[in-house]
Structure 1
Amino acid sequence: MHTHRIVSIIDDDESVRIATSRLVRSLGWDVRLYASAEDFLDSGEISDVACIISDVQMPGITGLEMQRRLLDGGIMLPIIFISAFASETVRRQALGGGAVCVLSKPVDGGAVSRCLETLPAEGGEPH
């Protein structure tokens, strides 16, 4: 059984969500999709997530605001941020909050794969 092999993909652009989910599934991860940070934060499905891949700029709660809310709640999850506008300020803020990677759109599959490979392996051993 794969525990902690779930990647939550959060992006308000459905085509980006679908393309990213195909890529992440092809790398052997389970995927959950969310159209907004609010949907993810309200999902009640945060505890078993291994990693979040999130857009930075979204209507409502931004990716960085979601990261701050998770940290304020004591939840330290690896986050891969994807942004069409990855300024140095955004990059610094994201990485300062514990993000694993900050990638630019359009996303390079190899870059996502390398970011996911840096995650600690969990739940891989049989019980």
Structure 2
Amino acid sequence: MANAARTDGQGQPVRVCIVDDDESVREALPDLLREFGFTVEAFASAREFLASAFIDDTRCLILDIAMPGMSGPELQRELQSRGKHLPIVFITAHADHDVRSRMLAQGAIECLFKPFSESALLGAIDTALQAH
């Protein structure tokens, strides 16, 4: 049974956006997050997200590190150059602790290695929402 829709202090839905070139991630994560009351949008590329109308009301960005075209860290830098400082939870299939440390040092809320647990993801999103 789905939880009630999550809203912010002004009654607006809490939107989480996912950017990942892996179709299975774009199908599974939105379903999971909707069960927990989030409003969710999923994008296949960084450019697709940048062209969307959702940047301004995204409360947390779940972002793959390695994607064709613009990588996750490149999208993070592009958003920062535009003055958009979204809380980011990076996800990656490559368990590299040096990369994780670098992402956290560059301002990410968390960097999770695939496959990650539901509780790890929800904990990272909750941390991101508190930071935003």
Pair in the same fold by TM > 0.5: yes
CA–CA distance in 2 between the matches of 1:78 and 1:56? 15
Over the aligned positions, Cα root-mean-square deviation in angstroms equals: 1.8
Deviation, structure 1 residue 44 = 3.1
Q: Which runs of 4+ in 1 moved over 4 A?
A: none
Q: Which amino acid aligns with 1:81?
A: F
Aligned sequence identity (%)? 43
- Unaligned runs of 5+ residues in structure 1 are 123-127
In the superposition, the TM-score normalised over structure 2's length comes to 0.84
Deviation, structure 1 residue 4 = 5.3
| Matching of residues 1-127 of structure 1 within 5 Å | 2-3=11-12, 5-118=14-127, 119-120=129-130
CA change 1:28–1:121 in 2 (3 A) is farther
CA–CA distance in 1 between the matches of 2:54 and 2:122? 23
- Unaligned runs of 5+ residues in structure 2 are 1-6
CA–CA distance in 1 between the matches of 2:43 and 2:108? 19
In the superposition, the TM-score normalised over structure 1's length comes to 0.87
CA–CA distance in 1 between the matches of 2:99 and 2:22? 20
